[in-house]
């Protein structure tokens, strides 16, 4: 009988699960720092401590804080992206597809460290161009999915404006701390607004500030 000898695993093979675990911990730590402190306040020492590694090891892996934060955000966004829903035929198909896209895309972002980190990356005024570029590059994929969803439909007109509205909604909701209600599907209402199928609700008249011509306005000098 021929003896079968097992080839020992290479050092790279033995270390791969450990490296993958460290990568997951670094991504989670970087997102938490971004969510809590923003791009400028995030620190390598705190990220390393959160991930259970050394700052020197982190510097060797990332090279710079900005490059590491951008890589972590890019990886987390790629892992969270759901496939774009297929558009079916029939009345209301575009609305349903757009609503499904919005709800699926927003799910991993709302009231999460990833969502707050994504919103922080796009906030004006911080110094990390690499982080902003990582967020915008990922948004380019969302833009493409939305173009494919809207093209050759009655809503193809003013497509870029509709896409900007959809991305603005995702950015706004990603920045909020309020978790989505499990029984709510806000994407449907937002999709109808983006497509122009319903008009925006007028503010409650009782909440409107008094104008100079209204009877509730104070008289000049009082």
Q: Residues 124-182: pLDDT tens digits?
A: 888 789 999 999 999 999 999 999 999 999 999 999 999 999 999 999 999 987 776 66
Instruction: Give the C-alpha distances (Å, rounded to integers) separating 36 from 118, 134, 136, 177.
Output: 12, 19, 21, 12
Task: Check residues 133 and 208 and name the one with the higher pLDDT.
Answer: 133
Read off the tokens for 10: 């290479």
pLDDT at residue 205 tops 60: no
pLDDT at residue 94 tops 50: yes
Number of Cβ atoms within 10 Å of the Cβ of 150: 24
Measured between alpha carbons, how far is 27 from 18 in angstroms, rounded to an integer?
14
Task: Check residues 2 and 154 and name the one with the higher pLDDT.
Answer: 154
pLDDT at residue 199 tops 90: no
Three-state SS string across the chain, please? CCCCCCCCCCHHHHHHHHHHHHHHHHHHHHHHHHHHHHHHHCCHHHHHHHHCCCHHHHHHHHCCHHHHHHHHHHHHHHHHCCCCCCCCCCCCHHHHHHHHHHHHHHCCCCCCHHHHHHHHHHCCCCCCHHHHHHHHHHHHHHHHHHHHHHCCCCCCCCHHHHHHHHHHHHHHHHHCCCCCCCCCCHHHHHHHHHCCCCCCCCCCHHHCCCCCCCCCCCCCCC
Measured between alpha carbons, how far is 89 from 98 in angstroms, rounded to an integer?
14
What pLDDT sits at residue 125? 87
pLDDT at residue 80 tops 60: yes
What pLDDT sits at residue 51? 94
Mean pLDDT of the chain: 82
pLDDT at residue 207 tops 80: no
Task: Check residues 45 and 89 and name the one with the higher pLDDT.
Answer: 45
pLDDT at residue 208 tops 50: no
179 touches 110 (CB < 8 A): yes
What pLDDT sits at residue 85? 73
Task: Check residues 81 and 44 and name the one with the higher pLDDT.
Answer: 44
77 touches 114 (CB < 8 A): yes
CA 11 to chain centre: 37
């Amino acid at each position: 009988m021929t003896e079968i000898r097992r080839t020992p695993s290479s050092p790279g093979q033995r270390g791969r699960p450990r490296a993958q675990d460290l990568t997951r911990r670094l991504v989670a730590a970087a997102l938490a720092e971004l969510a809590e402190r923003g791009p400028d306040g995030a620190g390598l020492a705190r990220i390393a401590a959160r991930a259970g590694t050394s700052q020197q090891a982190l510097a060797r892996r990332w090279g710079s804080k900005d490059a590491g934060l951008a890589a972590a955000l890019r990886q987390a966004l790629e892992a969270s992206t759901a496939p774009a829903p297929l558009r079916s035929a029939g009345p209301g198909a575009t609305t349903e597809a757009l609503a499904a896209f919005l709800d699926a895309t927003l799910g991993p972002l709302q009231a999460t460290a990833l969502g707050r980190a994504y919103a922080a990356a796009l906030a004006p005024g911080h110094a990390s161009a690499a982080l902003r570029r990582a967020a915008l590059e990922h948004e380019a994929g969302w833009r493409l999915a939305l173009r494919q969803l809207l093209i050759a439909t009655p809503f193809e007109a003013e497509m870029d404006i509709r896409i900007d509205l959809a991305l603005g909604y995702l950015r706004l909701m990603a920045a909020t701390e309020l978790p989505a209600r499990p029984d709510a599907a806000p994407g449907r209402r937002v999709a109808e607004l983006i497509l122009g199928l319903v008009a925006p609700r007028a503010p409650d008249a009782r909440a409107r500030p008094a104008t100079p011509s209204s009877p509730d306005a104070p008289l000049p000098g009082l």
